[in-house]
Chains A and B, each alone.
Chain A
Amino acid sequence: MDALIDQLKGEIIEQLNLEDLKKEDIDADAPLFGEGLGLDSIDALELIVLLEKNHGIKIANPADGKKIFQSIRSMAEFIKANKK
């Protein structure tokens, strides 16, 4: 799980152009939206693309997004549970 979290941090920094952040600056349990990383609605769309492009996972029910994108750890758990 730790390796996947580390990988996700790198992918998020790259995909969302968070150039001023390093992996170690990101708390895997901090909220991705609002506080924490302070991501916005466009970033949310980017995260959906990232899941599909890098991990081959489509979110079937958009209502699940809030739970999946709660934190990097919740994203990693979702990937682990849904990876084919």
Chain B
Amino acid sequence: MENRNYISSYCAVKEGEVIVDHSTSYSEKTLPSIDFIKSVYKHFQLNYPKFYKMDHLCKLAFVTSELLLKSNPVTQKYSSEDIAIIIANSTSSLEIDTEHQNTISDKNNYFPSPAIFVYTLSNILIGEIAIRNSIKGENTFFIFDKFDPDFMSSYINSLLNSGKAKCCITGWVDFYENKYESFLYTVEKEKGTLNIEHTSEQLKKLFNN
């Protein structure tokens, strides 16, 4: 089996900008983080009532994955069991963990919110993407100090080369204290229109652009 794998599409959301496959598809530099993410949702008319109930991290993952899969609808090409989702970040679910802590820190005002509590795990964002797109393949969430192209390229290539998945939705989604950055991309055996080999070097270039 051919051991090369390719980045077939990507979507990056950071610094008030949405970039899909090298092109800026939306930009709004004046809004603070979460307002910007909500504006992306409205701008692209991503109709999903559950969106507003999500925490900030899941909202960011949701809009990024929606735009990625709009550009490259891999769920129409592969069976649900053949698509993996592997995502990483550096702050885990700390943003919502802190919010949850605030609801339970005062014993005289102890009202933990179920809707907040359900998001106090970073891999919930993978679940949100999987539920939305009926994806049932391998999934893992990693926490690193920073985006690690060496690890991600090696891990995802191994996943595809071993036949555990035929396609992978992968990348980085981080949100903490109004700082946000997401970069999700699809990896396949086919070159796709981008025709970028899934190597550490190529990943570094794309992520830092």
Could you list which residues of chain A lie within 8 angstroms of chain B, going by C-beta atoms? 15-20, 38, 42-43, 45-46, 49, 52-53
On whether the beta carbons of A43 and B115 are closer than 8 Å, the reply is yes
Instruction: Write out the residue numbers on chain A whose beta carbons fall within 8 Å of the beta carbon of B113.
Output: 15, 46, 49
Would you list 12 pairs from A and B whose C-beta atoms are within 8 A, ordered by A residue? A16-B53, A17-B52, A17-B53, A19-B52, A20-B52, A38-B49, A42-B53, A43-B115, A46-B113, A49-B111, A49-B114, A53-B111
Give, as a whole number of angstroms, the nearest-CB distance from A15 to chain B.
8
Q: How far is the CA of A45 from the CA of B111 in the complex (A)?
A: 11
When distances are taken between beta carbons in the complex, the residues of chain B under 8 Å from A53 are: 111
B143 at the interface (CB under 8 A from A): no
The total of chain B residues at the interface (CB under 8 A) is 9
Q: Are A42 and B49 in contact (CB under 8 A)?
A: no
Residues A17 and B115 in contact, CB atoms below 8 Å apart: yes
Majority-rule SS of A interface residues: helix
Within the complex, the shortest CB–CB distance from A46 to chain B, in Å, comes to 5
Q: Closest Cβ of chain A: how far from B117's Cβ, in Å?
A: 9
Shortest distance in angstroms between A71's beta carbon and chain B's nearest beta carbon? 19
**Does A42 contact B52, Cβ atoms closer than 8 Å?**
no
Distance of B35 from chain A, by nearest CB (Å): 11
B118 in the interface (beta carbon within 8 A): yes
Smallest distance from the beta carbon of B148 to chain A beta carbons, Å?
A: 33
- Which residues of chain B are near A16, meaning CB under 8 Å? 53, 115
In the assembled complex, the CB of B78 is this many whole angstroms from the nearest CB of chain A, namely 29
- Residues on B with beta carbons closer than 8 Å to the beta carbon of A45: 114-115
Q: A46-B115, A49-B111 are in contact. List 5 more A-B contacts (CB 8 A).
A: A15-B113, A19-B52, A20-B49, A43-B115, A45-B115
B94-147, CB < 8 A from A: 111-115, 118
CB distance from A33 to the nearest CB of B (A): 14
CB-CB under 8 A from A43, the residues of chain B are: 115
A22 to chain B, nearest CB (A): 13
Bound Cα distance A16, B118 (Å): 13
Q: Which of A18, A38, A46 contacts B52 (CB 8 A)?
A: A18
Binary flags per residue of B44-79, CB closer than 8 Å to A gives 1, else 0: 000001001100000000000000000000000000
Instruction: Return chain A residues, CB-CB under 8 Å to B53.
Output: 16-17, 42
User: Nearest chain-B residue to A20 (Cβ)?
Assistant: B52
| A20 CA / B113 CA spacing, docked (Å) | 21
Which residues of chain B are within 8 angstroms of A38 by Cβ–Cβ distance? 49
Cα distance A52–B114 in the bound complex, in angstroms: 13
